[in-house]
């Protein structure tokens, strides 16, 4: 009798998860070897010590069931994962850093444009909080220390530019944490991979 109840309970949980829209499973392939140092557009991207980066935050292909079409980007701010949906109930999963308390956001947007080694211009309200950033009011030149890293995907919604970005960072220790000003950050090696996969116009769901 106890075994029957356990099986029924497990089935209910599984069905509930299916109905929620997305179900992820274990890794099919992990790209741990892709975090080596590399040169991109003349910039040297440092290696990431994968022995210190939790395996769950390393880029990998996982089983992932979703009602969204392939090419959709789904951001799980709770578990700190970004999914790029693939055909056949799979997705590329990346570890991410998200907005700290007071800077969280959720919603749906589109990738309006993509830029390699972008210029970063801090918004006026950020300069107000951090006056030391005033020197970048006309833009922080691209480079390995730039706040947007190696790539940026610019998110727009019905109101226009949301102000949020999916972007790179050399601060690999921030992955899996909530410490940004709202943007979603990925390791530079990962944002390059996502940049190459994602198309302008792609749907982005932040939940």
Q: Evaluate whether residue 12 is within a structural domain.
A: no
Catalytic residue among 59, 114, 167, 185: 167
Give the pLDDT confidence of 52-107 residue by residue, as tens digits.
999 999 999 999 999 999 999 999 999 999 999 999 999 999 999 998 754 668 99
Residue 111 phi, psi dihedral angles, 5° rounding? -75, 110
Phi-psi region of 7 (alpha: psi -120 to 50; beta: other; left: phi over 0): alpha
Find the domain containing 102 and state its range.
22-206
- Residue 1 in any domain: the answer is no
- On whether residue 13 sits in a domain, the answer given is no
183 is catalytic: yes
CATH of the domain at 54: 2.40.440.10
| Residue at 60 is within a domain | yes
CA distances from 15 to 11, 12, 18, 159 (A): 6, 5, 5, 36
Extract the tokens encoding 99: 């907005």
Please count the structural domains in the chain. Answer: 1
Q: Is-catalytic flag, 43?
A: no
Given the residues 183, 186, 191, 205, the one annotated as active site: 183
User: Does some domain include residue 164?
Assistant: yes
Question: Does any domain span residue 7?
Answer: no
**pTM for the structure as a whole:** 0.86
Buried b (16+ CB within 10 A) or exposed e, 16-39: eeeeeebebeebeebbeebbeeee
- Domain assignment present for residue 6? The answer is no
Write out pLDDT tens, residues 144-192.
Answer: 999 999 999 999 999 999 989 999 999 999 999 998 767 999 999 999 9
pLDDT of residue 200: 98
Give the Cα-Cα-Cα angle 37, 173, 97 (nearest 5 degrees).
105
The band of 22, judged by pLDDT with boundaries at 50, 70 and 90, is low
């Amino acid at each position: 009798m106890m075994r029957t109840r356990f099986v029924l309970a497990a089935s209910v949980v599984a069905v509930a998860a299916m109905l929620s829209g997305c179900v992820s499973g274990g890794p099919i392939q992990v790209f741990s070897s892709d975090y080596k140092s590399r040169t991109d557009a003349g910039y040297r991207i440092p290696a990431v010590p994968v022995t210190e980066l939790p395996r769950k935050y390393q880029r990998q292909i996982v089983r992932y069931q979703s009602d969204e079409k392939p090419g959709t980007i789904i951001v799980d701010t709770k578990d700190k994962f970004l999914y790029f949906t693939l055909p056949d109930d799979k997705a590329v999963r990346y570890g991410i850093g998200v907005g700290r308390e007071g800077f969280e956001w959720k919603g749906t947007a589109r990738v309006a444009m993509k830029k390699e080694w972008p210029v970063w211009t801090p918004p006026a309200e950020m300069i107000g909080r951090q006056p030391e950033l005033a020197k970048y009011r006309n833009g922080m030149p691209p480079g390995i220390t730039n706040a947007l890293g190696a790539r940026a995907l610019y998110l727009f919604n019905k109101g226009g530019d949301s102000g949020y970005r999916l972007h790179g960072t050399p601060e690999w220790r921030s992955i899996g944490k909530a410490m940004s000003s709202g943007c979603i950050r990925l390791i530079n090696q990962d944002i390059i991979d996502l940049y190459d996969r994602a198309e302008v116009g792609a749907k982005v769901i932040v939940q």
